[in-house]
Structure 1
Amino acid sequence: MFPQVRMRRLRSANIQRMVCETTLSTDDIIYPMFIDENISTPQKIPSMPGIYRLPPSQAASDAKEASDLGIPAVILFGIPEKKDEKGSSACGDDDVVQKAAREIKNELGKDMAIITDVCLCEYTTHGHCGVVNYESEEVLNDPTLDILGQVAVSHAKAGADMVAPSGMMDGMIKAIRSSLDSNNYSNIPIMSYAAKYSSTFYGPFRDAADSGYSFGDRSGYQMNPANSNEALREVELDIKEGADIVMVKPALPYLDILYRIKDTFKIPTAAYNVSGEYSMLKAAAQNGWLDERSVMYESLLSIKRAGADMIITYFAKDIARLLK
């Protein structure tokens, strides 16, 4: 008891560093990239200051900049030239993500791990993550699974080191694992968006990826923000189907979920520090309400402290420069 116990004794400069419980490094960071085959020069994303859509020809140079900062991985999102009801432009050998993956792999080789988002929302005219029955306005789970498997195989063929299915379709991990294995890509890991909530924090991403939906919403297949135990069931099922890494999305409003998942399953766990989390901090900083560097670091540190082994964040380059 006080005065014998004084917690402040361990809070002086160098001693505080030695007893620090959580550390953040560039090895924890994944850099998201938006590749748009409709443009020839980088295009600003107004709702995400500092983030751009890039043409496929500039994917490698942007990834190299990230690599030079010490960032070990990128995750690719594609905006195709053509969309249709089934997302046909998602799985061709010469489609947008596939082109970007080859460019990056040819330029950087093993110096950069390429992760690819496996979903259909950027590629469909309706903006949903699967095949749709227009009469009932229902996203059809089972007919979507085979397409996701095809997309994953095309990404692996193009040079992806890992695939990351995000559509929240039941059985998607099993379908993708089966497709990869049967096409001689059994060594490609799957990072599943296992606990992906139906969140309003995705708004700026939909501007960036041109993935807004034309009817309804995604609450029929993404998780209810009120539910916690359900997240553990989703994660457990994905692990049993073959997921190598599981993810919680969004991150900051769901740190309790992240902690429970890591504590329960103890497998590699990712968190997605999503567009809305990024944009609100950027806006507050631009208005002088928060110090951007400090609040960025504190936010990402909280995600790591809650249990994340890796963090997908639009702050990737900024935090890498700060950590350097």
Structure 2
Amino acid sequence: MRASMIRGRRLRRGEALRSLVRETELSVSDLILPLFVEPGKGIRRPIASMPGVFNHSVDTLVEEAKRAHDLGIPAVLLFGVPDHKDELGTSGYEDDGIVPTAVRALKEAAPGLLVITDVCLCEYTVHGHCGVLRHGEVQNDETLPLLARTALAYARAGADIVAPADMMDGRVHAIRQTLDESGFSQLPIMSYAAKYASAFYGPFRDAAQSAPSEGDRRGYQMDPANAREALRMVKRDVEEGADIVMVKPALAYLDVIRRVRDEVDVPVAAYNVSGEYAMLQAAARNGWIDGPRAILETLTSIKRAGADLIITYHALEAAQALR
């Protein structure tokens, strides 16, 4: 007797069947919304290269964060845009700086919302690099105490997670040691462990006003051609005390996300970055793609690759679609 033909279509007949056997479930609880905050009041300034994304003052930031929380989004990731910059990025680690101020306001207004703070100096330095710059070269070891001081300022303000983004060697260890010695041993670190020197960061640099004034960041961010190196960096950061590791960007690095997920036991985050967001938004606004479907398909691909957490500017729109 001839064996029955294998018919994959049997389980595709109708949404109820498709839902029953679905292998990857994207949830609102997977999402983290990035937000930009600057000094002032009543500010909700559109970012031209990121339609639907805004620079906020603290008061409007609180409104946006509460909206996200009401939709079920569990966390926001804060980036500061200061009113003054200098060679050492001192406004990044002032206790009354823009990010600590925003953290305190968010924790008061929405205590159930997790507040993650990006730890880097690029938004706060006049040269736009992620550390101390001397003779055109970012100084790794001189930068570490400043990053640790920044993380500590955010911890004191009430941050739930600190997220070093600079790609300096040893920064997770330096931050972990400083936090532990200062009474914050329970505060998690989400490390940008595999952060690539990507062409997809342009819109973010418009929003954060953080483009380098000279040179580029390829001397410390990773070469897009390398995957084995990503595994080394991830394992190093876990050994130094990272509680969550991140791959950034997401879409051009789905293979890296998968390999990282297979290699480590800690949660894996992926950053669906500004350029990836802008491409989808531009195509949708021109009628070239179905925007809502493309957003969910994109985020599902990141989840399917192995990400436990997805940082995305699509979070609000995705959350509405997933409800």
| TM-score, reference length from structure 2 | 0.98
Match of 1:61? 63
Q: Partners in 2 of 1:156 and 1:281 — Cα distance?
A: 35
Q: Spell out, residue by residue over 1:44-68, the C-alpha distance to the aligned partner (whole angstroms, 9 max, x if none).
A: 0000000000012222221101000
Match of 1:196? 195
User: Aligned with 1:139: secondary structure?
Assistant: strand
Which of 92, 95, 103 matches 2:94? 92
User: Aligned with 2:188: secondary structure?
Assistant: coil
Consecutive unaligned residues of structure 1, counting only runs of 5 or more, are: none
Q: Percent identity?
A: 55
Match of 1:8? 9
Match of 2:230? 231
Which of 23, 43, 46 matches 2:45? 43
Q: Partners in 2 of 1:143 and 1:153 — Cα distance?
A: 17
Would the aligned equivalents of 2:172 and 2:191 in 1 still touch at CA under 8 Å?
Answer: yes
Match of 1:113? 114
Task: Report the alpha carbon displacement of residue 266 of structure 1 after superposing the two structures with TM.
Answer: 2.7
Match of 1:261? 260
Match of 1:173? 172
Q: Spell out, residue by residue over 1:249-279, the C-alpha distance to the aligned partner (whole angstroms, 9 max, x if none).
A: 0000000000000011132000000000000
Q: Are 2:154 and 1:155 equivalent residues in the alignment?
A: yes
User: Aligned with 1:301: secondary structure?
Assistant: helix
Which of 66, 72, 75 matches 2:74? 72
Amino acid at match of 1:320: A
User: Aligned with 1:43: secondary structure?
Assistant: strand
Would the aligned equivalents of 1:252 and 1:303 in 2 still touch at CA under 8 Å?
Answer: yes
Match of 1:145? 144
Q: Partners in 1 of 2:184 and 2:113 — Cα distance?
A: 19
Match of 2:213? 214
Would the aligned equivalents of 1:38 and 1:80 in 2 still touch at CA under 8 Å?
Answer: no
Q: Are 2:317 and 1:315 equivalent residues in the alignment?
A: no
From the superposition, tell whether residues 22 and 131 of structure 1 become closer, same or farther in structure 2 (CA, over 3 Å). Answer: same
Q: Are 2:291 and 1:292 equivalent residues in the alignment?
A: yes
Match of 2:276? 277
Q: Partners in 1 of 2:100 and 2:172 — Cα distance?
A: 20
Amino acid at match of 1:44: P
Consecutive unaligned residues of structure 2, counting only runs of 5 or more, are: none
Q: Give the RMSD, CA atoms, in angstroms.
A: 1.0
Match of 1:17? 19
Q: Partners in 2 of 1:63 and 1:276 — Cα distance?
A: 22
Q: Partners in 2 of 1:4 and 1:175 — Cα distance?
A: 60
Q: Partners in 2 of 1:38 and 1:256 — Cα distance?
A: 42
TM superposition outliers: structure 1 runs of 4+ over 4 Å: none
| TM-score, reference length from structure 1 | 0.97
User: Aligned with 1:163: secondary structure?
Assistant: strand
Q: Partners in 2 of 1:43 and 1:2 — Cα distance?
A: 64
Would the aligned equivalents of 2:131 and 2:166 in 1 still touch at CA under 8 Å?
Answer: yes
Would the aligned equivalents of 2:41 and 2:59 in 1 still touch at CA under 8 Å?
Answer: no
Q: Partners in 2 of 1:185 and 1:58 — Cα distance?
A: 29
Task: Report the alpha carbon displacement of residue 2 of structure 1 after superposing the two structures with TM.
Answer: 7.0
Amino acid at match of 2:35: M
Task: Report the alpha carbon displacement of residue 39 of structure 1 after superposing the two structures with TM.
Answer: 6.1
Q: Spell out, residue by residue over 1:125-162, the C-alpha distance to the aligned partner (whole angstroms, 9 max, x if none).
A: 000000000x2x00000000000000001001101000
Q: Partners in 2 of 1:159 and 1:297 — Cα distance?
A: 32
Q: Partners in 1 of 2:41 and 2:226 — Cα distance?
A: 40
